[in-house]
Amino acid sequence: MNRLDHYWYSQNPLAWMLLPLSWLFCAVSMLRRLMYVYGLLPAHAMPVPVIIVGNISVGGTGKTPLLIALCEYLTNQGFKPGVVSRGYGASMSGDHPVTVNNDAAACGDEPVLIKQRTGCPVIIGSDRVAAANKLLAENDCDVILSDDGMQHYRLKRNIEIAVVDTVRKFGNGFCLPAGPLREPVSRLRKVNMIVHHGDTDDNYHFTLEFGEAVNLVTGKNKNLDLFTTGVVHAVAGIGHPERFFNQLRARGLEVVEHAFPDHHAYTSGDIDFADTSPILMTEKDAVKCIRLQPIMKNGDTIDNIWVVPVSAKISDQLGSDLSQLIKQR
């Protein structure tokens, strides 16, 4: 991903060479959407409001933490949300409910994390229409949130939320493969809410805040400030690992970076380092690494692996306006 970032987030000869393919990708993407808009391809409506939480770019924008925060907010407002997700990398086929004890390899890391954090019903499936129907058939939900799926137009949506990273934004502005965009930036004019990930003055925004670190083996909590006395190994297999590393440094930690591809399937060797410095990882990594316990090193169990939970703090207007949009549907 780092190599792709080098090309996708800069103007460079390779990106310019790939521009013809990028134009073709954009044209096909726009044509496909219009076929659903004008009814040439069928879009399937649900009897409850459907909210898409997605983006137009490849890579981490903070979409999953935002979806978790929205589920929590809507629950507190008296709604009964449920979630559908593709379940990227899941070994299961078809449509399946997710439990808090599911193996991330079977269901995908993000659905398991969403289930653990929210308690809301979660259904995975490559066909989001089938997943949404199963969700409603088996659960008492009055609103559906789709984890990603902005380009999955078969599922008719009532509200579209596009997440934009205020730092990386749209890279070089090109569509795949010359740049990171799944659809041209003009697509954002058609969504209901553009939510900015970062500390901005925009009405719709959110920031990510760390909680106390949690030991992967014992469940013990520890303040992050207590990790500033030495080096830590920081492990991240997410869309934008540098965000995690930089946030740890901002808290005063001395970080040795270990970046892995998004949705990486961990082995014990990935986190078996030569020294005994603490290992800090994201929740998304932890739902996969928990299955590696106990990890043996020199005959001893490693119990110095810590999970750093993150929560999205949404702007007041984002929450209140979303509630109003749902009620209007």
**Average pLDDT score over residue span 244-266:** 95
Distance, first Cα to last Cα, the chain: 39
**Higher pLDDT among residues 88 and 56, named by residue:** 56
In CATH, the architecture of 2-207+313-328 is 3-Layer(aba) Sandwich (3.40)
User: pLDDT over 70 for what percent of the chain?
Assistant: 96
What is the per-residue pLDDT for 294? 56
**pLDDT value at residue 67:** 98
pTM over 0.85: yes
Distance CA 124, CA 134 (A): 10
Region 10-24: what's the mean pLDDT? Answer: 92
Sorted by where each begins, the domain ranges of the chain are: 2-207+313-328, 212-308
Top-confidence residue, 197 or 300: 197
The answer, yes or no, to whether residue 300 has pLDDT greater than 60, is: no
**Sheet strands side by side (includes 279-282):** 221-222, 213-215, 305-308, 279-282, 231-236, 254-259
Buried b / exposed e over 196-220, threshold 16 CB at 10 Å, is bbbeeeeebbbbbeeeebbebeeee
Same fold, 2-207+313-328 and 212-308: yes
Query: What would the pLDDT profile of 21-67 be if each residue is shown by its tens digit?
Result: 999 999 999 999 999 999 999 999 999 999 999 999 987 789 999 99
Is pLDDT at 238 greater than 50 in this prediction?
Answer: yes
Largest CA distance in the chain: 65
Per-residue model confidence (pLDDT) at position 295? 56
Q: What is the CATH number of domain 212-308?
A: 3.40.50
Peptide bond into 121 cis (omega under 30): no
pLDDT, tens only, 106-147:
899 999 999 999 999 999 999 999 999 999 999 999 999 999
Residue 274: pLDDT band by 50, 70, 90 thresholds?
Answer: confident
